[in-house]
Structure 1
Amino acid sequence: MTQDRAEEFVDGLRQAGLRLTPQRMAICRVLAHSDAHPTAAQLYAQLRNDFPSLSLATIYSTLNTLSNLGFVYELGNAGDGQKHYDPDTAPHANLICTRCHQIRDLDDSALGSVSQRVAKRSGYQILGARLVYYGVCPACAKRRVR
């Protein structure tokens, strides 16, 4: 992701009427430059030293607004009891390991054509799609064999 993506997030918050505090802008920057699928607690841990006045409530509020605006997806629970967020809203699948709870992206250009076929068959204007696979990642499978 890029600086342009961070600016899109910030513009979305501005349009939603939220004040553009340094904390909110930092949340946007971290998300826009992340390939991870962070939780609110992970974002808080990453930013709290730079922003001592930052609260989890600010992070949740910002994530909720970005989700409502379609800038991030709520992935929900990855088996670790926490809600994860995906800043990559382009068509792709997510792979969630049921053992270590790591989330990975699977870029699959075929997903775009699936959405087009669904739109054509259903008459729906497709606004987005999410595909999540659950399984055991190679690292966990290897540890299990030993």
Structure 2
Amino acid sequence: MSDLLERLRSRGWRLTAQRRVVAEVLDGDHVHLTADEVHARAVSRLPEISRATVYNTLGELVVLGEVLEVSTDGRAKRYDPNAHHSHQHLICSRCGTIRDVHPFGDPLSALPDAERFGFAVSGAEITYRGLCPDCLSGN
């Protein structure tokens, strides 16, 4: 389980009922929901929550650095609560499912000095692509 709710409480972020529900929907391992998916799940917990509130809350969480916005191949943005845990992403090329992965080694060391072109490289994002088990089996 991610520690999103705990992080937000420790920051003193005002957890209104709407904000709490959005955070609860996002909390967990391998959660990469679109804003519409967050809204649909939030409505099942708090029927009066508006789409605008969900979008605004997601935007605030991204600005706070508590949620990552993940964009893949022109698909809808997805929101990842594991912003404070080093990881990469494994994405299904067909259905768009995203899983967090934790490969060994330092991706920064894989970039040779000659390929840095004088940049002071501070981070690397690696995305692995393939077909998930459901898409492989034709489901």
Please classify the TM superposition score into its range, dividing by the shorter chain length: 0.7 to 0.9
Aligned length: 133
Aligned to 1:114: 107
* Structure 1 stretches lacking a partner, 5+ long: none
RMSD over aligned Cα atoms: 2.8
SS in 1 for 2:31: coil
Q: Of 83, 91, 98, which residue of structure 1 is paired with 2:86?
A: 91
The structure in which a higher percent of residues are helix is 1
C-alpha distance in 2, partners of 1:100/1:117?
30
Deviations 1:4-57 (CA, angstroms, capped at 9, x unpaired): 53121345572xxxx531110121122223532011111111121321220111
* Structure 2 stretches lacking a partner, 5+ long: none
Aligned to 1:101: 96
Q: TM-score, normalised by structure 1?
A: 0.73
Counterpart amino acid of residue 41 in structure 2: Q
Q: Percent identity?
A: 36
1:105–1:34: structure 2 CA closer, same or farther, 3 Å change rule?
A: closer
Q: Of 59, 79, 84, which residue of structure 2 is paired with 1:64?
A: 59
Aligned to 2:133: 138
Deviations 1:84-138 (CA, angstroms, capped at 9, x unpaired): 111112221111112122111212242xx234777x98545x3x54322222223
SS in 2 for 1:104: strand
CA contact 2:69–2:79 (8 Å) conserved in 1: yes
C-alpha distance in 2, partners of 1:36/1:78?
18
CA contact 1:96–1:134 (8 Å) conserved in 2: yes
1:42–1:136: structure 2 CA closer, same or farther, 3 Å change rule?
A: same
Note the C-alpha offset of 1:69. Answer: 1.7
Runs of 4+ in 1 over 6 A off after TM superposition: none
C-alpha distance in 1, partners of 2:63/2:12?
10
1:70–1:51: structure 2 CA closer, same or farther, 3 Å change rule?
A: same
Q: TM-score, normalised by structure 2?
A: 0.76
CA contact 1:94–1:133 (8 Å) conserved in 2: yes
Larger relative contact order (CA 8 Å, sep ≥ 6): 2
C-alpha distance in 2, partners of 1:59/1:38?
12
SS in 2 for 1:143: coil
CA contact 1:78–1:96 (8 Å) conserved in 2: no
